[in-house]
Chain A
Amino acid sequence: MNFKSIYILLLSIWLASPLVFAQKNTSVKLLTTKTEFTVGSHIVLKFKNANNNTPLLYCSNSYGTTLVTGTINNLNLEYTLPENIAKKIGVINWKILDKNYPTSGKLYIKPKAEVATMETYIGPPSIEAGGTDYSMLVVIPTDSLDNPVPTNTPVKVKNQFLNSEEVDNIFTKNLIAFKNIYSKKQDGRILVSSEALGTNSKEFTINAMPAVPTRFKISYSSPHNYADGNQITNFTTSVIKDRFNNVVSDGTYVDFFIKNAEGNVLKTSGLTLNGVANSKIIHPDHADNWSVKAYINGMAESNTITLNYKQVVKDFNVAFTNKNRIISVGPIQSFMNQMIPDGLHVKLHIYSNNQLVKILTKTTFNGYVYFNLKPAIYKNNNYNFKIETAGITKQFNKKLW
């Protein structure tokens, strides 16, 4: 009997215990029914409390987690949510921290429909004209507590380009509003700003730059068409434009390739200013035929023009003196029989036994060039000399002694 009665007693206590605890559980109850608050409002969570203790309230939002101490007011347990939690939009998860009261819930903080500040980003700051390239404007209007505004808040995007001023309405979604601003056919400066609920952003700039250049023409000018090796020929392009008739940006690099009569390729280059590239080249020092074509690598090219340079030096004298070691070349005269301007290259090829020994290059001074063959270098012997200037070649065989 003893064992049995003890057994029954224990069993009945065990069975009854959940009932007791279950009853305790229901003794705390949330009194606040509101689960949605406007951001920044004073939020108090009230609980009906049978016990007189004040457990901590655990609450957490996307910015972090905190514990709130409760106060007892008129037998109700009250928790005032701190400002740093209450002024951020989003979900707040709360929970009473007591093993006996596993009560928990959620609050929703709604954004205010007001705009205090606007974060605005735009990029890239320069795009290509022509209507395909674009820059993206991103607007993030925020309220006075730095929360994003409600979804579908209207944002006005205003832009000015040349004579047109446009306003577009866009709406915030996922906290931001954005718009792709496409370039127009013309190049120029697009000024952009935005407005949301009466608050305006500052001014932003997008530079629409000219697109890829198209075919152009070139021309030349020079003081005369003599090959005097001194004057300068200018090449000029027509105004280089893109396919939308925009003048290409200043500084665009244009290569001028020149093929001369021998098939060798010379080169000059110019940078555009207001679409026109200028380049210069010195006249050749002998009669030559040039065909010139300009390129913008991979994008555009010009027509081909031809230039004819007339020979100026008809002939020149060569004299050997001082044991044939001083060779004087000249007078070298230009087209009006004036002395050729200083600096014309005269080349002396020296051959010994048909082997090239040395090429000496000198420049004329007052129409003459003197070569002095030093005995240290050119031993006494027979030499062949080839003198070459302005495209004319003369050959001699002399003995140095």
Chain B
Amino acid sequence: MKPEKSNKFLIAALLLGLAFHGSSIFFTLETTYDALIHLFFADHYANSWFEPWNYEWYTGFTVQSYPPLVHQSIGVLSYIGGVKFGMFTVALIAITLFITGTYRFSLMMTANKTVAGYACVLAVFSSSFVETLHIFGQLPSIVGVSVLMHALPEIYLWLKTGKKWYLATCLSLISVTVTSHHVTPIFGMVFFIFPLIGMVLMDVSKEQVGTMKAVTFKVFLNSFFKLFKRIVVFGMLSLVLIVGCIFPYWLNSKANPITQVPIPHGSRDNFLEITSSGLVFFLIPWGILLVLLPYIFYRYYSKRYLFFGLSVTICTILGTGGTTPVPLKMLGETAFNILTLDRFTLWASILSIPMMGEFAYRFVEGDMKDAIQKKFGGVYHRIIGGILAGLFVFMVIFTMSLNYFRPSQPQKIKMLPIVNFLNQDDHDKWRFLTLGFGDQMAWLSAQTNAMTVDGNYHSARRLPELTTRPIERLENSKFKGVAGIGSLQQFLTTPEKYNLKYIFSNDKFYDPILYFCGWQRLRQLENGIMVWERLNIPPVSEILPKEDVAKWLKIHWGIMPFLTVIVAFILNIQMLWVIMLKTRFKPIPEFLKFPVQYNKFNRNVIRITHVWSLILTIIIFYGIYLFYIKNDSQRSPENAIIAYYDALDFKEFEKAHSLINPASNLPIAQYMLEISVTDGLLSSYAKMDAIESEITKHNDSTVSAKVTTQWITPLEKIEKIDYKSLSKIKGKWYLQPDDLNNDLPPDQLYSDNVTKYYNQGRRRITTEQTHHEDILKQPVLEVISAKLVKYNGSYAIIGEVQNIDNVPADVILKGTLYNNDNKQLATYNAKYHIKHKLMPKESSCFRINFEGIAWSKTQDSIPDTFNPDEFTPVEFEEQPTKFNLQAAGNVAGSDLYKGVVLSDVNITENYIFGNLFNSGIQEITIPQLLISYYDDNKNMVWVDHFFVKEGVRQERKQNFEYQILEPGAVKIINTSMENIFVNGLPNSDISNKIIPNRITNHINNELQPINHPDFSYIKIEINTYIGSPF
């Protein structure tokens, strides 16, 4: 017998694919969304193969929440060359599997080796594969679908021939699919295997009646009954495998159902509205296939492939996400909100691969070439070919470079300094949190044993603080709008609940919220990451709770995945060898008996494809035109304003300057100088959320605009109204520059003497724990007054605390509310309403709000426009009547700037106007006013806060405008100072010992009288955040 010839196309595809993807994964895979998450799981398996509980993420979760094969493979390979070596090796295997898979799938579909060869070459560069691998990094998904494609011919053969051997091979491959990705086989059943069964039935029917035309429904039904037993056997056994191979996964899904607020995903967007989602989840995966759609549908709706046609259609429709209401109706609310719909597009594109190969074959050397050449001539054929090839290459290059133009991840962070920091001095005894790391947080977790409260696999989240809100990670909460910041601040305010002590911040945006929640900067690591710490946090306890599972489940989970691979390997490759060696005879597979004759190409298809291409071209050009109109910054005054504010938002000052009226003679140097000296909450820490401009036209070349901008800052939401004038010069709109603050400081050079502090930490270099001589005494605080009050329906503890020690103190106040029966109702820490750092003898008023876990009641009560400054008051079932206050002082050495002066105050009916003056030598980035309200007997009844939006430069003034609280009486519930403790000791004992002769209500003479129905006096205290202290 003539030895079988190797398929040149397949070999070319493998070489090309491995060379192209194999070399580019080293530049793409680590910046994808998912790859590093898989790496983290792999690291878990490498360290504890049989123990599914992982303590590092969230407050512990089980890795049985994701099929393990790919992770375990990386884990095994990591023993050779580390986890990254494992990941790249598995990626190479996945590429090989995918290419060979498409070849086998196409061969089965078309029964033509050349067509299958074309298909697999094209599949190497298909934009959906490129995107899944290089942008999303979904290795398990690729492995799953590739192995599924390998399984399809075996399924065909089992159904067609009924040989038990094929049943074994196809089931072995199905089980590998299951252990690598759980969603693939379930939906693969529907979208790949059901149509395949249909095709087998068609083929069997054809064999009975001779031609495809003669196949009627009756014949088809007959074949169905004939093969019914095989179908049922296959179906039941694969169901058993799907359940059995990853049984612990299903058990875990049942025990810990995903009961969380759906996390928004781009694939559920309306692609016409949110064009970026449309690009990533529709245009790119479809790519060149969009042009071929008429051909694909034409071929798939032929009788043999009818069921594939239905499957492709459903996948295509489901893949359109929220663009049409159909996917929501088809899937139902729950499934729609859990599934990411981009995978349907992926499957549709994979289902189309054989037809793409067929199209290419017929276009390049088949009947279509003849038909086109006959009708339009050879040159036209070549031009079309050139255009198609060009488009194809363009899509590949575009997809590969997407991350270059629109990076989905922050710059690569060197993890070594962070890993070293965590290993040092027992820092890993506390939990940490990363901010602004993107998916690289998974890579950090893989390298350290330290635990984080965050995590990167949101289906496994357990804390209600996380599951009740639509954010995937705390880490990137700023991108999740204010809901994200809202949830982050709960973690920052009560970190002791989670033993959270260290925060690694890669994003300056979060600095103010960290500062005002009582955190302090520790130092900047070599890689530029700022470490923040919070004092007075207990370390993580030695024994942590875990949800244990039965031993047999652990063993099953640890052994089964590789077992399926080994069995599949033996059955599909090893045994083939044996059979071939023994018999030297290989029967032609059944599916090769149904080839299609490519002799006469349907002219209508050519026509329709032309029309379709024309429509596509028009749509694309219209889209580009719209894009141009929207982005031509000086076409209309609205565009100019939006472009100007965008430029300011992204700190593109040169671009902003180019929009300033050139006639105003404002040189860029001057403009930059003016912009660069403005600091503050709004100019340094705000992200523009919305912009709206109201244009008043005066004449053709002059308009004025009222610009309302919404800004999200880490601290609060800010609405800003600016009035701008615009002029049209030579057809372009320009903005008029604004006036400057001319405040001139009196001194060119001046000096300041301050007391600075340095805490040695451990004086001796030792690993011994807390050498008692090195422990500083906790600074003694005194709670001067404290009371439980109710205002506007929410309860709060207010009062005044003083550092009565001789060293500066970091103050943490924790309040607990009780009812009459001493039942604990709520506990929370002071957040913004306190000066967290107090110099010796300095005092601060405070207020403790009692925040519940935001929106924990119903998911639909999440406000659309959440203000970070607002909070969800805890809902009390019983009336709080008593309170307990725990004050903890720790020696502080930083953030002790006190150079701010209240230099002018004017009180009107509703407002306080005033000036802040910075008398020191550091620039104040965010000044905060703490305003305490007093009744007519000078009893403190309420504390409010106010962030001044602008910073204050050295020796300069900054005016502010504070709105006095609206009328509303404060109800004082309890003024007992009985249950107040400082550093664990009773407050009264301390005050009696250290200040027995305290002058009570000492500063009452200096209160500022106001005109208000409910309040008679106020006191203003000032707290300052310094962005870059020195």
Using CB atoms and an 8 Å cutoff, list the residues of chain A in contact with chain B.
121, 123-126, 128, 133, 204, 209-210, 212-213, 230-232, 248-255, 257, 259, 262-273, 278-282, 284, 293, 295-299, 301, 341-343, 345, 361-365, 374-377
CB nearest to B956 among chain A residues: A343
Specify which chain A residues have a CB less than 8 angstroms from the CB of B957 in the assembled complex: 282, 343, 345
Contact A265 B1007 (CB under 8 A): yes
Contact A282 B1002 (CB under 8 A): no
Specify which chain A residues have a CB less than 8 angstroms from the CB of B995 in the assembled complex: 212, 298-299
Specify which chain B residues have a CB less than 8 angstroms from the CB of A248 in the assembled complex: 806, 840
Which of A251, A268, A271 meets B902, CB within 8 Å?
A268
Expressed in whole angstroms, the minimum distance between the Cβ of A266 and any Cβ of chain B is 5
Specify which chain A residues have a CB less than 8 angstroms from the CB of B704 in the assembled complex: 374-377
Residue B725 is within 8 A (CB to CB) of chain A in the complex? yes
Distance A364 CA – B998 CA, assembled complex (angstroms): 47
Distance A331 CA – B771 CA, assembled complex (angstroms): 69
Are A267 and B806 also in contact (CB < 8 A) when A251-B755, A281-B917, A295-B1006 are? no
Indicate with 1 or 0, residue by residue over B168-184, a CB within 8 angstroms of chain A CB atoms: 00000000000000000
Distance A271 CA – B919 CA, assembled complex (angstroms): 13
Contact B777 A125 (CB under 8 A): yes
Expressed in whole angstroms, the minimum distance between the Cβ of A390 and any Cβ of chain B is 12
Contact B901 A271 (CB under 8 A): no
Contact B746 A232 (CB under 8 A): yes
Contact A376 B723 (CB under 8 A): yes
Provide 27 A-B residue pairs closer than 8 Å at the C-beta atoms, listed in order of the A residue. Answer: A128-B994, A212-B997, A230-B746, A251-B755, A252-B840, A252-B841, A253-B839, A253-B840, A264-B1008, A267-B1020, A268-B902, A271-B755, A272-B755, A273-B754, A280-B919, A281-B917, A282-B919, A284-B904, A298-B995, A299-B995, A299-B998, A343-B743, A345-B957, A362-B739, A374-B725, A375-B698, A376-B725
Specify which chain A residues have a CB less than 8 angstroms from the CB of B141 in the assembled complex: none
Expressed in whole angstroms, the minimum distance between the Cβ of B946 and any Cβ of chain A is 15
CB nearest to A232 among chain B residues: B746
Give the number of residue pairs across the A-B interface with Cβ within 8 Å: 172
| Interface positions of B from 841 to 877, Cβ below 8 Å from A | 841-843
Contact B903 A253 (CB under 8 A): no
Contact A266 B777 (CB under 8 A): no
Which of A231, A253, A266, A375 meets B842, CB within 8 Å?
A253
Residue B705 is within 8 A (CB to CB) of chain A in the complex? yes
Contact A266 B905 (CB under 8 A): yes
Residue B235 is within 8 A (CB to CB) of chain A in the complex? no
Using CB atoms and an 8 Å cutoff, list the residues of chain B in contact with chain A.
696, 698, 703-706, 723, 725, 739-744, 746-747, 753-755, 757, 772-773, 775-777, 784, 802, 805-808, 838-843, 896, 898, 901-907, 917, 919, 955-957, 959, 993-995, 997-1000, 1002-1003, 1006-1009, 1020, 1022
Specify which chain B residues have a CB less than 8 angstroms from the CB of A342 in the assembled complex: 742-744
Distance A48 CA – B547 CA, assembled complex (angstroms): 62
CB nearest to A223 among chain B residues: B746
Distance A79 CA – B723 CA, assembled complex (angstroms): 101
Which of A281, A299, A377 meets B903, CB within 8 Å?
A281
Specify which chain B residues have a CB less than 8 angstroms from the CB of A251 in the assembled complex: 755, 757, 807-808, 839-840, 896
Contact A295 B739 (CB under 8 A): no
Expressed in whole angstroms, the minimum distance between the Cβ of B1008 and any Cβ of chain A is 4
Distance A362 CA – B906 CA, assembled complex (angstroms): 17
Specify which chain B residues have a CB less than 8 angstroms from the CB of A295 in the assembled complex: 1002-1003, 1006
Expressed in whole angstroms, the minimum distance between the Cβ of B808 and any Cβ of chain A is 6
Distance A362 CA – B738 CA, assembled complex (angstroms): 12
Specify which chain B residues have a CB less than 8 angstroms from the CB of A376 in the assembled complex: 696, 698, 703-706, 723, 725
Specify which chain A residues have a CB less than 8 angstroms from the CB of B1006 in the assembled complex: 257, 259, 265, 293, 295
Specify which chain A residues have a CB less than 8 angstroms from the CB of B1002 in the assembled complex: 295, 297-299, 301
Contact A299 B839 (CB under 8 A): no
Contact B806 A282 (CB under 8 A): no
Distance A341 CA – B896 CA, assembled complex (angstroms): 32
Expressed in whole angstroms, the minimum distance between the Cβ of B545 and any Cβ of chain A is 33
Which of A278, A345, A377 meets B723, CB within 8 Å?
A377
Expressed in whole angstroms, the minimum distance between the Cβ of A377 and any Cβ of chain B is 6
Distance A264 CA – B1020 CA, assembled complex (angstroms): 12
Expressed in whole angstroms, the minimum distance between the Cβ of A321 and any Cβ of chain B is 17
Which of B706, B746, B777, B805 meets A341, CB within 8 Å?
B746
Expressed in whole angstroms, the minimum distance between the Cβ of A127 and any Cβ of chain B is 9
Distance A267 CA – B1008 CA, assembled complex (angstroms): 11
Distance A328 CA – B1007 CA, assembled complex (angstroms): 39
Specify which chain B residues have a CB less than 8 angstroms from the CB of A121 in the assembled complex: 772
Which of B807, B898, B903 meets A269, CB within 8 Å?
B898
Distance A268 CA – B901 CA, assembled complex (angstroms): 5
A-B complex: 7 closest residue pairs judged by Cβ atoms = A376-B704, A343-B743, A253-B842, A342-B744, A280-B919, A249-B806, A251-B755
Contact A363 B742 (CB under 8 A): yes
CB nearest to A365 among chain B residues: B742
Contact A255 B742 (CB under 8 A): no
Expressed in whole angstroms, the minimum distance between the Cβ of B872 and any Cβ of chain A is 34
Distance A341 CA – B773 CA, assembled complex (angstroms): 56
CB nearest to B702 among chain A residues: A375
Distance A362 CA – B743 CA, assembled complex (angstroms): 10
Are A341 and B901 also in contact (CB < 8 A) when A125-B776, A251-B808, A376-B706 are? no
Specify which chain A residues have a CB less than 8 angstroms from the CB of B907 in the assembled complex: 264
Specify which chain B residues have a CB less than 8 angstroms from the CB of A230 in the assembled complex: 744, 746
CB nearest to B957 among chain A residues: A282
Expressed in whole angstroms, the minimum distance between the Cβ of B738 and any Cβ of chain A is 11
Expressed in whole angstroms, the minimum distance between the Cβ of A298 and any Cβ of chain B is 5
CB nearest to B901 among chain A residues: A268
Expressed in whole angstroms, the minimum distance between the Cβ of B777 and any Cβ of chain A is 4
Expressed in whole angstroms, the minimum distance between the Cβ of B429 and any Cβ of chain A is 24
Expressed in whole angstroms, the minimum distance between the Cβ of A222 and any Cβ of chain B is 11
A125-B777, A281-B919, A342-B744 are known contacts; what are 17 more A-B pairs with Cβ within 8 Å? A123-B772, A125-B776, A128-B994, A230-B746, A232-B746, A249-B806, A253-B839, A262-B906, A273-B753, A282-B919, A282-B957, A297-B841, A298-B784, A299-B1002, A374-B725, A376-B706, A377-B706
Contact A253 B742 (CB under 8 A): no
CB nearest to B784 among chain A residues: A298
CB nearest to A187 among chain B residues: B806
Specify which chain B residues have a CB less than 8 angstroms from the CB of A301 in the assembled complex: 999, 1002
Which of B741, B906, B959 meets A264, CB within 8 Å?
B906
Expressed in whole angstroms, the minimum distance between the Cβ of A246 and any Cβ of chain B is 11
CB nearest to A369 among chain B residues: B742
Distance A279 CA – B739 CA, assembled complex (angstroms): 32
Specify which chain B residues have a CB less than 8 angstroms from the CB of A365 in the assembled complex: 740, 742
Specify which chain A residues have a CB less than 8 angstroms from the CB of B703 in the assembled complex: 376
Distance A263 CA – B1005 CA, assembled complex (angstroms): 12
Expressed in whole angstroms, the minimum distance between the Cβ of B1029 and any Cβ of chain A is 16
Distance A284 CA – B805 CA, assembled complex (angstroms): 35
Contact B742 A279 (CB under 8 A): no
Distance A210 CA – B907 CA, assembled complex (angstroms): 40
Expressed in whole angstroms, the minimum distance between the Cβ of A324 and any Cβ of chain B is 16
CB nearest to B777 among chain A residues: A124
Specify which chain B residues have a CB less than 8 angstroms from the CB of A124 in the assembled complex: 777
Distance A252 CA – B779 CA, assembled complex (angstroms): 13
Expressed in whole angstroms, the minimum distance between the Cβ of A209 and any Cβ of chain B is 4
CB nearest to A240 among chain B residues: B841
Which of B723, B755, B805, B999 meets A250, CB within 8 Å?
B755
Expressed in whole angstroms, the minimum distance between the Cβ of B877 and any Cβ of chain A is 39
Which of A259, A273, A280, A345 meets B901, CB within 8 Å?
A280
